Amino acid sequence: MQSVGQAGNNVDKEISLLVKQAITEGVPLRLRGGDTKAFYGRASEGQPLELRGHNGIVSYEPSELVVTARAGTSLAELESALAEHGQMLGFEPPHFAEGATVGGAIACGLSGPRRPYAGSVRDFVLGTRIINGRGELLRFGGQVMKNVAGYDISRLVVGALGTLGVIVEVSMKVLPIPAREETVRISMLCSQAIEQMNEWAGQPIPISGTCHHDGTLYVRVSGSVKGVEAAIGRLDGELIDEGAAFWHSVKEHRHAFFADDRSQWRISVPQAAPPLPLDGEWLIEWGGGQRWLKSDAQAVVIRKQVEAVGGHATLFRGGDRSDEVFHPLPPGLFNLHRNLKNAFDPQRIFNPGRLYREL
Amino acid sequence: MAQTAERAPAGVDRGTLGRMLRQWLPETAVLDHPEQLRPYECDGLSAYRKLPLVVVLPDTIEQVQTVMRYCASQQIPVVARGAGTGLSGGALPLENGVLLSLTKFNRILDVDLLNRTARVQPGVRNLAISEAVSASGFYYAPDPSSQIACSIGGNVAENAGGLHCLKYGLTVHNILKLQVVTVEGDLVTVGADSLDAAGYDLLALMTGSEGMLGIIVEITVRLLPKPASAKLIMASFDDIEKAGNAVGNIIATGIIPGGLEMMDNLATRATEDFVHAGYDVDAAAILFCELDGTPEEVSDDIEQVQKVLEESGCTDMRIAQDEQQRQLFWSGRKAAFPAAGRLSPDYYCIDGTIPRKKIGYVLTRIAEMGQEYGLRIANVFHAGDGNLHPLILYDGNQPGELERTEELGGKILELSVEVGGTITGEHGVGVEKINQMCVQFDKSELSQFHALKAAFDPNNLLNPGKAVPTLSRCAEFGAMHVHKGELKFPELERF
Ligand SMILES: Cc1cc2nc3c(=O)[nH]c(=O)nc-3n(C[C@H](O)[C@H](O)[C@H](O)COP(=O)(O)OP(=O)(O)OC[C@H]3O[C@@H](n4cnc5c(N)ncnc54)[C@H](O)[C@@H]3O)c2cc1C
């Protein structure tokens, strides 16, 4: 195992040297932040490269709405630094366990309940510094809100599971924490809830989270004090006290739904797609756009149903992790993926096979 | 493409190429007379002009595929063109290439109100999308000032922004899916109707790629419900630095305005003459701050913003009294470019983006630089995003004035990079800012861009020569131009 940041010297350079060494020796690397999302993606072999030592907030200016942090920075630490100034990460990244890092959150590209209403991880990324498969330290994007100089590589590495390079630093846009946030609960069937969530999303109501499970729809509204009051009036549900704890449990998969031995699928479909005829138990988020399924059904069966409505299915937890866990891509599109992997990591040093077997 | 088709010889001439392409395209969809080609010789950056070999105007995806297959087989470069409103020469034709115009792809194919999406062809005008869904209470959020003319395909290719992108995002935040024809003529789907897609985020990568990675032939955009209420405050300042600081002060309250724009005195006077909106023509700068949301949110926010503006030292403040006045106040801001056009025979628009806190400093430096060069500069810009648009006023008929203007423009971009910003916020690199790319990126970063381009277009046939400079070009530029005392390409030969 190699880890960086002990000597307190130029860590970027240290990582770059380790990468160059791995290239020379032909040893693949398994990039590791907090190891809280090691279950995600395909099983991948490689010598662990520990990045937690490369940590710290590089710059943060609340009035710029921008924060820059090294990849090994603890997500919890970053979030509390932002909260001190009344700000937050708009995409509400899940931690899944203690020790989650910023780099891991970016590489996995997972967003929380606010995603359909505020944006996804990549929507908030403004710039990155990465080390590519030639061991070169590269900087793309920046710390400003708009930047179209060069290809948008900062956003390309989001969700690439480390297969394009080592993320060493990231700049993100942050958001003010809403003045008020409330959650209401309404009894509703699944099909009705999907329709209702989408109708509301088409109206100017400050919704910031939706979840349907077991006959109950939960809706979170955020905004100014008077704005939230008015919204609660329009939604006409039962106000609950433990709203914050509820959304935390959904985001972190601590909700009772997730305690199960069956395979867990993440189903991403057009938000208003009707309930899918698949056996298993469902928890629906994101106005219908993200659906969790616990099921013993075969992968091909699940994928076929999901594809039919224009979505994709990920074997999120459990099941056979040596097979493809992400939705297989059509040949033309996969070809571009192969070429891109080659353009960034020609020796296949970084997390080989973690995203797709061939990448 | 028919396999038996006649093949054009290498170094093909205009007439032969036109004849070849008419095998697969309707007679009127191929233009090859110099007179017909003239309207396509430049985009919105009219200082650069070139005639393409041939212009094609396909109106089906199959025709685009056929053109691409043929051009790839013959190694003929292809430049895509939307409405030609681009300001960086991205759609400038190549003398040895085909210009592929997408104007005939002008249909809105499908609107799905429950999913809040619209599937449109690339030649559809930006504003036409909002107009089509307006009666249902929806709109397409990114609203570039050119929205009555520019195409949605061009918006995707440039990642266009608008007056409301501080709150509602850029093009990249407001699209879901693309159909793209590759350089070999294959059709691929990028993104999905769901909120994310499997694999690498090629949707983000295609956005802003300036026609270098593929031809966009269909776009699925997201629609938003129109805000229930919108209020516009217009505040005057006697000092541009104070106005710049007010921008940061507003953001610091935790309110994200729907729009936050600024005009300096020269721009204000020019637009006032043009639209008679009743602007304060004595102010050093005016700030437009629009608050939108539910009526309750807006009334909460407006009180707070008024207070901040007062504390920031504004000399006057007006709130648009009704929808008509709100539109009138905005009209001057939206017409700022044509208004500047009346101040001077020519103007040159710069697109540097900087951290908000540097606005005051950079505007002061720009004014000084303008004086050094003896050129007037009007500023009208997206203050909330730190996206500056200095308009350098010049007269192209005066010998040397365009060259001086371009040099000054380059200096302003380098200043933007120096303070931690970028050479382009929304207009793209095109041919215009290609040298400044050498200032913003080093050799290995540019090489990574070239490798990425080759992953899509190994023979460099899509819009070659734009957006990313070759290393030797940077060496040449660097030789004339040493940045912060360090030579960026020390190992490359000097000229
Ligand atoms: C008065 C004025 C105001 C403006 N205001 C703004 C503003 O507020 N915000 C802003 O962002 N921009 C603004 N612009 C710039 C310009 O309007 C935008 O860049 C716009 O997105 C360009 O669209 P277009 O259809 O005219 O594209 P074009 O100029 O035709 O092309 C632009 C680039 O896109 C490529 N391209 C076009 N269509 C396709 C396609 N289908 N597939 C692949 N590549 C394609 C071209 O090759 C070229 O590189 C303004 C321009 C003017 C003249």
Cα(A83) to ligand 1 centroid in Å equals 39
pLDDT of B158-211, one tens digit each?
A: 999 998 999 999 999 999 999 999 999 999 999 999 999 999 999 999 999 999
Asked if B360 and B437 sit in the same domain, the reply is: yes
In a domain, B493, yes or no: no
What average pLDDT does range B18-28 have in this prediction?
96
Which structural domain, as residue segments, surrounds residue B33? 2-101
A233 to chain B, any CB pair closer than 8 A? The answer is no
Q: Which atom of ligand 1 approaches the CA of B217 most closely?
A: 41
Give the C-alpha separation, A311 to A305, whole Å.
9
Asked if B294 and B212 sit in the same domain, the reply is: no
Asked if B347 and B465 sit in the same domain, the reply is: yes
A61 to chain B, any CB pair closer than 8 A? The answer is yes
Final residue in a domain of this structure, among B180, B198, B225: B225
Domains of chain B: total: 4
Selection from A4, A55, A2 nearest residue A25 by Cα: A2
Which pLDDT does position A1 carry in this prediction?
A: 62
A32 to chain B, any CB pair closer than 8 A? The answer is no
**Is residue B52 within 6 Å of ligand 1 at its C-beta?**
no
Asked if B218 and B278 sit in the same domain, the reply is: no
Which one of A65, A143, A226 has the shortest CB-CB distance to B251?
Answer: A65
- Three-state SS sequence of B106-144: CCEEEEECCCCEEEECCCCEHHHHHHHHHHHCEECCCCC
Q: How far is CA A227 from the centre of its chain?
A: 29
Q: Is the pLDDT of residue A8 over 90?
A: no
In a domain, B195, yes or no: yes
**Is residue B385 within 6 Å of ligand 1 at its C-beta?**
no
Q: Is the pLDDT of residue B33 over 90?
A: yes
In a domain, B474, yes or no: yes
> Which of B133, B194, B444 to mutate against chain A (most A CBs within 10 Å)?
B194
A contacts of B138 (beta carbons < 8 Å): 202
Asked if B356 and B449 sit in the same domain, the reply is: yes
A17 to chain B, any CB pair closer than 8 A? The answer is no
A contacts of B158 (beta carbons < 8 Å): 148
**Is residue B90 within 6 Å of ligand 1 at its C-beta?**
yes
Which one of B354, B444, B452 has the shortest CB-CB distance to A136?
Answer: B444
Instruction: Indicate the CATH number for domain A4-176+339-344.
Output: 3.30.465.10
pLDDT of B48-71, one tens digit each?
A: 999 999 999 999 999 999 999 999
CB pairs under 8 A between A and B: 273
In a domain, B491, yes or no: no
Asked if B354 and B429 sit in the same domain, the reply is: yes
- Percent of chain A past pLDDT 70, that is, above it, reads 98
CB contact under 8 Å between B200 and A337, yes or no, is: yes
Cα(B427) to ligand 1 centroid in Å equals 7
Mean pLDDT of chain A, nearest integer:
95
Minimum CA distance residue for ligand 1 atom 7: B144
**Is residue B246 within 6 Å of ligand 1 at its C-beta?**
no
**Is residue B258 within 6 Å of ligand 1 at its C-beta?**
no
CB contact under 8 Å between B254 and A269, yes or no, is: no
Q: Which of residues 92-131 of A touch B (CB under 8 A)?
A: 109, 115-116, 119-120, 122-123
Angstrom CA distances, B438 to A148, B56, B245, B414, B446, stand at 15, 33, 31, 10, 8
Which pLDDT does position B481 carry in this prediction?
A: 53
Q: Which atom of ligand 1 approaches the CA of B161 most closely?
A: 11
Asked if B284 and B374 sit in the same domain, the reply is: no
Domain chopping of chain A, boundaries: 4-176+339-344, 180-260+262-317
Asked if B343 and B451 sit in the same domain, the reply is: yes
Asked if B320 and B353 sit in the same domain, the reply is: no
C-beta of residue B291 within 8 angstroms of C-beta of residue B258: yes
CB contact under 8 Å between B252 and A63, yes or no, is: yes
| Residues found in chain A | 359
Q: Is the pLDDT of residue B147 over 70?
A: yes
Asked if B6 and B73 sit in the same domain, the reply is: yes
Q: Is the pLDDT of residue B6 over 50?
A: no
In a domain, B490, yes or no: no
Asked if B298 and B344 sit in the same domain, the reply is: no
User: What does pTM read for this prediction?
Assistant: 0.95
Final residue in a domain of this structure, among B55, B84, B101: B101
Q: Which atom of ligand 1 approaches the CA of B79 most closely?
A: 47
- Percent of chain B past pLDDT 70, that is, above it, reads 95
C-beta of residue A129 within 8 angstroms of C-beta of residue A166: no
Final residue in a domain of this structure, among B189, B206, B225: B225
**Is residue B18 within 6 Å of ligand 1 at its C-beta?**
no
From A255-259, B144-148, B451-455, the region with the lowest mean pLDDT: B144-148
**Is residue B103 within 6 Å of ligand 1 at its C-beta?**
no
Which pLDDT does position B495 carry in this prediction?
A: 35
Asked if B434 and B416 sit in the same domain, the reply is: yes
User: Interior CA angle at B305 toward B299 and B311, to 5°?
Assistant: 145
Cα(B400) to ligand 1 centroid in Å equals 28
Q: What is the CATH number of the domain that holds B260?
A: 3.30.70.2190
* Four-CA torsion B403, B404, B409, B415, nearest 10 degrees: 130
Amino acid at B151: S
Cα(B158) to ligand 1 centroid in Å equals 6
Which pLDDT does position B466 carry in this prediction?
A: 96
In a domain, B68, yes or no: yes
Reported ipTM: the value is: 0.97
Which one of B115, B199, B353 has the shortest CB-CB distance to A147?
Answer: B353
Q: How many CA atoms lie within 13 A of B331 on its CB side?
A: 15
DSSP code for B39: G
Strand ranges (DSSP E) for A98-206? 125-131, 137-141, 166-173, 175-176, 180-187
